[in-house]
Amino acid sequence: MPKAKREMTTIQISKETREMLKQLGRKGETYDDIIRKLIELAKRVERER
């Protein structure tokens, strides 16, 4: 779904986790983008088991 159409919410994470997410992301990516990539990666890994 395009970013502009997504309904957003707020989640609490530690500053340490936020920094870890920043390190995984690329310039211009949102935390939502990074988390979605991680979810897709986790799904692929799970299917390969």
What would the pLDDT profile of 9-41 be if each residue is shown by its tens digit? 999 999 999 999 999 999 999 999 999 999 999
Host domain of residue 29: 18-49
Query: 33 in a domain, yes or no?
Result: yes
The CA distance from 28 to 34, in Å, is 11
Domain count, the chain: 1
Q: Is residue 6 within 8 Å of residue 32, measured between CB atoms?
A: yes
The CA distance from 34 to 39, in Å, is 9
Query: 45 in a domain, yes or no?
Result: yes
Query: 1 in a domain, yes or no?
Result: no
The CA distance from 43 to 48, in Å, is 9
Show Cβ contacts of residue 8 under 8 Å, excluding neighbours closer than 6 positions: 32
Query: 46 in a domain, yes or no?
Result: yes
Q: How confident is the model at residue 2 (pLDDT cuts 50, 70, 90)?
A: low
pLDDT at 5: 80
The CA distance from 3 to 35, in Å, is 13
